[in-house]
């Protein structure tokens, strides 16, 4: 019975014992990469206390608990239910301090995350430097360096950045026209050559010698001296000085003849085109002037004309001790008008370039002269039966026999030297089996017209002259034919083929008509003169061509262009200038000399009348301007009319004809018979010389 009672008691106890209660603790981090929380999810018996610890990542800070209490990164909770606890983290914040040197602002733009003044760690901020007014951003300094603007910076600690601004600076360019200097004096602020914006500079023009200050031009127009200018942008100022930098010397020479010669008709040789056909040369470093004698062309054409002129002799003048004197009279050298000529070493070639009468009357003589001491020994090249119109003339050894050959233009006239005389060859540029070899695809298809001027000159330095021609086409019918039109007035180079021993087409200007203004008329700009020189000092000869339109009632009727030779033998047109003869100057030929002593050859346009050169009843009150006749080479085949000072004369009566150099000085010579002396006795002709020394 007792055992039964014990068993029943055990059953009672067992029946009265309950199972334990379990609760779950869930932990997390906010944000997830802000740190870690331990323990992670875990179960606890009812009533147990759970300790929770939050550990922040490197760029985060613990901030607070959600689902638990406490301000530290460690807290505890009593597990009397399921619990969810979150550790809240925040990114570390750093100060970005910006500063400014100069005048300007820095704007901040958040590229990624973050906010306001202090930025969350890792925030990328774009900084833009904005200069004020006349200031410029230069660079960043501090925790960012460089010149990139805008720039970006990553905030991973406290950072400081300075934007550096400087005041804008402008160059003040001073140019001088004439001879003098300009001094600069800073009146307010600024430095050295480039000035801070707002700098006031006082400029003082100080003329040299006999020069005087005229005016300021450019970004300031004033005659005040000194003058003040405020620099608020790039500024250019030119100081103009003036001086009459020429000497006009007038000299009268009496030329006497025996009574058999009509001095009144000799006078016409000076007043007519014989003067315009003169040229200058140096013999033994002494200047000489050649004035061509006249032929009897007028008399042949119209004996009853009041313009009849009997043949006149040619004259050679020498400059001696600053004065001109008659050196020699050449009775047998008669050319109505020497248009183009060539002087090389001790040889001179001239031809009659008259343009008088019907075509069958346009004929004259050509001469070659050899300088012997201070005289010239002349020989007529042509024969009486082959007089031609020699607008252009040249010489060179074309056939390699070491004897000079002479070419005449227009047309195709060649005089082959044989040692004592010259053998005449007509049509040497047009006829097969002559000196030029033609083919349909190399010549006829590309070129048309008469070569009006030309040169025999070595272009490539191989010792063999090339034939260079320039064309002149004025036939109206040519302009209606497309292929002819595109070939008007070509510049052409023929080169000798060593195998065939003939000259063949080598290079020609393409579509030369297109190089000039479109003019509806009978002719395009045809060549009147051609010269070969090295204008850019590269050892390769270049070509300059004078041209005319032939109609002076159009916008332009004269021009000259320059072609620079290239290494491959071709030519590039680097310069072209157009003129209006009725308003500017009248010319057809030109000379090439270094007038300003800079080592580069310049171009002088020669008188053919016109108010720039010729004063008789043409703007005598205004005087004659020489500037537009002097074209200065910049060394690259580009030419500019001389403009550093005004070159004007008013005392002159007659024709300015030719330039020359004497001891490095630049002169222009003019002549006329003295129109005021009508009572000359016997056969004495007073001739007035105008000698202008020009200091450029």
DSSP string, 445-496: TT--SEEEEEEEE-SSSSSSPEEEEEEE---GGGGGSHHHHTTTT-EEEEEE
pLDDT at 264 over 60: no
CB of 542 within 8 A of CB of 560? no
**613-618, long-range: CB < 8 A, 24+ apart:** 613/585, 613/586, 613/587, 613/655, 613/656, 614/586, 614/654, 614/655, 614/656, 615/652, 615/653, 615/654, 616/653, 616/654
What mean pLDDT is predicted for residues 669-683?
Answer: 62
Provide the token pair at 396.
Answer: 């060179």
Query: Position of tokens 């005004």?
Result: 646
Please tell me which of 3-17, 29-43, 672-686 the model is most confident about, judged by mean pLDDT. Answer: 29-43
Report residue 640's pLDDT band, with 50, 70 and 90 as the boundaries.
very high
For 97-152, write each residue's pLDDT tens digit.
767 666 666 566 565 554 444 677 788 888 888 888 778 888 888 888 888 888 98
**Both structure tokens of 296:** 């009897």
The pLDDT value recorded for residue 613 is 47
Q: How many CB atoms lie within 10 A of CB 322?
A: 10
Residue 586 burial (CB < 10 Å; 0-12/13-18/19+)? buried
CB neighbour list of residue 382: distance below 8 Å, 6 or more residues apart: 365, 366, 388, 415, 422, 424
| DSSP three-state, residue 66 | strand
pLDDT band at 651 (very low <50, low <70, confident <90, very high): low
Query: Above 50 in pLDDT, residue 483?
Result: no
Please indicate, yes or no, whether the overall pTM of this predicted structure exceeds 0.75: no
How far is the C-alpha of 672 from the C-alpha of 313, rounded, in Å? 16
More confident residue, 62 or 441: 62
Query: Is residue 289 packed enough to be buried (19+ CB in 10 Å), middle (13-18) or exposed (0-12)?
Result: buried
477: number of CA atoms within 13 Å, CB side?
Answer: 2
Pairing of strands 169-177, 235-242: parallel
Q: Which of 425, 362, 361 is nearest to 390 (CA)?
A: 362
Q: Which residues have C-beta within 8 Å of that of residue 442, sequence separation ≥ 6?
A: 504, 505
Note the pLDDT of residue 300: 45
> pLDDT tens digits, residue range 445-461?
444 456 788 999 999 89
3-state secondary structure 490-521: CEEEEEEECCCCEEEEEEECCCHHHHCCCCCC
Q: Please tell me the predicted confidence (pLDDT) of residue 367.
A: 94
Return the percentage of the chain with pLDDT > 90, whole number: 21
Helices (H), 587-663: none
Residue 658 in this model has a pLDDT that exceeds 80: yes
Read off the DSSP letter of residue 245. -
Q: Which residue has the higher pLDDT, 205 or 317?
A: 317
Residue listed under structure tokens 């890792």:
122
- State yes or no: cis peptide before 665, omega within 30 of 0: no
Measured between its terminal Cα atoms, the distance across the chain in Å is 156
Cα–Cα distance measured from residue 640 to residue 574, given in angstroms and rounded to the nearest whole number:
12
Answer whether residue 309 shows pLDDT above 60.
no
Q: Which of 354, 283, 271, 350 is nearest to 320 (CA)?
A: 283
Q: How many other CB atoms are found less than 10 A from the CB of residue 402?
A: 8
SS3 538: coil
Is there a contact between 51 and 74 (Cβ–Cβ < 8 Å)? yes
Sheet of 93-101, strand order? 118-120, 93-101, 159-167, 135-142
What is the model's pLDDT at position 442? 45
Rounded-to-integer distance, Cα 399 and Cα 290, Å: 31
C-alpha distances in Å from residue 31, one per residue of 19, 85, 228: 39, 13, 69
Paired tokens of 1? 């019975």
């Amino acid at each position: 019975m007792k055992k039964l009672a014990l068993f029943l008691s055990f059953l009672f106890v067992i029946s009265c014992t309950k199972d334990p209660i379990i609760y779950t603790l869930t932990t997390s981090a906010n944000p997830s990469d802000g740190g870690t929380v331990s323990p992670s999810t875990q179960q606890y018996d009812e009533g147990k206390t759970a300790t929770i610890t939050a550990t922040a990542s490197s760029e985060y800070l613990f901030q607070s608990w959600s689902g638990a209490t406490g301000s530290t990164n460690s807290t505890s909770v009593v597990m009397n239910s399921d619990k969810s606890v979150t550790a809240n983290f925040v990114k570390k914040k750093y100060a970005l301090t910006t500063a400014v040197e100069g005048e300007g602002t820095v704007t901040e733009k958040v590229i990624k995350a973050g906010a306001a003044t202090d930025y969350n760690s890792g925030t990328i901020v774009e900084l833009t430097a904005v200069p004020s007014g006349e200031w410029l951003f230069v660079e960043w300094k501090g925790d960012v360096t460089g010149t990139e603007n805008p720039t970006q910076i990553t905030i991973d600690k406290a950072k400081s950045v300075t934007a550096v601004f400087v005041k804008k600076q402008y160059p003040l360019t001073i140019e001088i026209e004439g001879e003098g200097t300009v001094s600069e004096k800073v009146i307010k602020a600024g430095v050295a050559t480039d000035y801070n914006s707002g700098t006031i500079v006082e400029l003082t023009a100080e003329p040299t010698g006999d020069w005087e200050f005229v005016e300021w031009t450019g970004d300031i127009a004033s005659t005040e001296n000194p003058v003040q200018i405020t620099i608020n942008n790039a500024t250019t100022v030119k100081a103009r000085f003036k001086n009459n930098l020429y000497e006009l010397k007038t000299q009268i020479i009496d030329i006497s003849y025996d009574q058999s010669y009509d001095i009144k008709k000799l006078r016409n040789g000076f007043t007519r085109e014989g003067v315009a056909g003169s040229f200058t040369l140096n013999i033994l470093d002494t200047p000489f002037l050649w004035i061509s004698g006249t032929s009897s062309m007028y008399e042949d054409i119209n004996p009853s004309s009041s313009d009849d002129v009997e043949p006149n002799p040619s004259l050679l003048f020498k400059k001696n001790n600053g004065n001109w004197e008659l050196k020699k009279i050449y009775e047998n050298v008669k050319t109505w008008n020497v248009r183009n000529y060539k002087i090389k070493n001790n040889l001179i070639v001239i031809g009659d370039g008259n343009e008088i009468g019907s075509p069958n009357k346009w004929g004259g003589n050509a001469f070659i002269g050899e300088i012997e001491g201070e005289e010239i020994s002349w020989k007529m090249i042509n024969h009486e039966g082959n007089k031609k119109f020699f607008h252009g003339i040249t010489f060179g050894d074309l056939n390699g026999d070491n004897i000079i050959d002479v070419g005449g233009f227009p047309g195709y006239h060649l005089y082959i030297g044989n040692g004592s005389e010259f053998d005449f060859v007509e049509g040497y540029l047009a006829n097969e089996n002559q000196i030029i070899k033609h083919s349909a695809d190399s010549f006829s298809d590309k070129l048309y017209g008469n070569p009006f001027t030309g040169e025999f000159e070595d272009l490539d330095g191989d010792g063999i002259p090339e034939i260079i021609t320039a064309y002149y086409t004025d036939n109206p019918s040519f302009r209606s034919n497309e292929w002819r039109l595109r070939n008007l007035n070509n510049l052409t180079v023929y080169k000798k083929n060593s195998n065939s021993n003939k000259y063949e087409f080598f290079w020609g200007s393409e579509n030369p008509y297109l190089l000039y203004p479109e003019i509806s008329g009978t002719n395009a700009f045809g060549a009147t003169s051609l010269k070969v020189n090295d204008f850019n000092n590269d050892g390769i000869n270049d070509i300059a061509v004078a041209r005319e339109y032939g109609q002076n009632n159009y916008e332009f009727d004269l021009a000259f262009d320059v072609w620079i030779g290239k290494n491959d033998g071709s030519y590039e047109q680097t310069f072209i200038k157009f003129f209006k003869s009725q308003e500017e100057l009248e010319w057809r030929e030109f000379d090439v000399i270094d007038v300003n002593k800079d080592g580069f050859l310049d171009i002088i346009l020669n008188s053919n009348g016109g108010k720039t050169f010729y004063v008789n009843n043409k703007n005598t009150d205004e005087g004659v301007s020489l500037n537009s006749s002097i074209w200065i080479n910049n060394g690259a085949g580009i030419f500019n009319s001389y403009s550093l000072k005004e070159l004007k004369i008013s005392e002159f009566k007659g024709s300015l004809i030719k330039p020359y150099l004497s001891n490095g000085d630049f002169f222009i010579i003019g002549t006329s018979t003295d129109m005021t002396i009508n009572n000359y006795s016997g056969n004495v002709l007073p001739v007035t010389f105008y000698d202008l020394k020009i200091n450029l």
